Structure 1
Amino acid sequence: MTRRTGCVARAAGCRPLAFAWAVAFVAALVLPGSAAWAASTTAGSDLAPAEKLLFMTTHMSGVEAQTELDYAFNLSGPPAKINDTVRVLVTSAANAKSDAHITDRSGNVEVSGEGLPCNPVILYFLEHDIAEMEQLTGGQRRYFQRRVRLALAAGPPITPVVMDVGGKPVKAQKIVIQPYLDDPNAARFAQYVGKRYTFIIADEAVPGRVMSIHTEVPGANNDFAHPLQTETLSFTGALHSLVPPPAKPGQPAPVKSPQAPRASR
């Protein structure tokens, strides 16, 4: 049985991660599944640069089959403090078949990125965030999805930055959004109006290109120096040439590569 994503979302009995999440960003939340995606791609040239960078970029280019990308996941409450490791197993080269497997401390997490070239860990993080917002505020999942989508569609700046990866400088791009500022319904969840999302997308030097995704809920008087809550997903490394899944009955067992495992950061 596929298990649901962890942390607060799991306690709320959240739905499995689905392709509808990606649709919520690049479409208008009016059609479910692949039909909505097909409709949205006809207007792909109208997507904002931030949307293209996060969802329409081939982040997995150059990542070999049977590579595991590891991410540290940290939530500094409330309602809880969580430290976890999120693993993305790339089973087809460059994730060309959209068949990467994601696991966290709860086990397998269903993320369908069919038709999207992006790193599915972005969808994992955002779906978890939306489920958390739904539980903490009593609001509707689609409402929060739409606010984030609109914030990205509004054309936020993409800022060049240089990150340190294993002691080496790596070029990256940063996107910062605050989806709930000027929200006409903000009074219903005033504590989260200033919530800030920061995405760091690196160049090809980082496998999967997702360097980090970070959210912050400011403290009293919009104090980001003393946040009420922070949540961070950050790349920690990759394991290459892992053993493929067990062969089906009647097929020869897979042969372990002499290179496996090998960590790179």
Structure 2
Amino acid sequence: MTALHSRPAPLDQADGLRRLFAHARVRFVPVVSNPHVAFGGVMLERLCTAFGEHGRHTLVVDAGEHSPVHAEMATLEMAECIEPLSPQVSYLAARGLPIKFVDTHGSTAPFLQAVSDAAPHVDVVLIHATAADLCRLFARSEARPLLLADDRPASVTHAYAAMKVLTQRAGLIVHDLLLSAAPNSPRAERIAMQIASCADDFLGAVLRDWVQIDPASDAREAPAPALRRWAQELLQPAGAMAMAAGMADSAVMN
């Protein structure tokens, strides 16, 4: 109780998160899991390669529908549960883990702080999770969720449904799309345009950018120019600062 009276109360409940992320260098990237995508793992690998090309170390926080359940000790010793996969990539099995950090406002943004504390060497954190989990983590923030889909109807329907949840529940209205499709796929561009049109017409949301990934590509190959451009833009400091401030505000707004 002494600490409660040792200094004035913060102006709002997001004060702590604002101060935490004010000078943070880590980039949190919300990636919407999609169980209907056949090569989701390849897509995450390509993202890691794109960030690695810029000298960034990426932590994949894997909390999707079919991801491995988190280790029981992860709530207390998260750092011990992070597995190094390569000099530039680490991995945390995290299905069911974010909700363990929920606060009295229904926000799980404290989970982001816990990840930062557990992996101080990391530059980029890919939060691969369901739309519902991402709503609690990033609500009312400046985060730009990355949707995953391929060129099959079930995956496209799921991606659009996830966009609807994120827009209506969390106020996240600007999205990107990572589309797994062969380079000669006749449907890829049409799918992206369809999602963009539906987002604008029915949700008041925006598909800001989309990148096509060849599912047959090797993770060791250099990223395609479009993915390289997307990653470079995301790593710009201004975007990170805006996202950090938005995540701090989400603790109050959620």
Tell me the TM-score normalised to structure 1 length: 0.24
Q: Name whichever structure is richer in helix by fraction.
A: 2
Q: Which has the higher strand share?
A: 1
TM-score (norm 2): 0.25
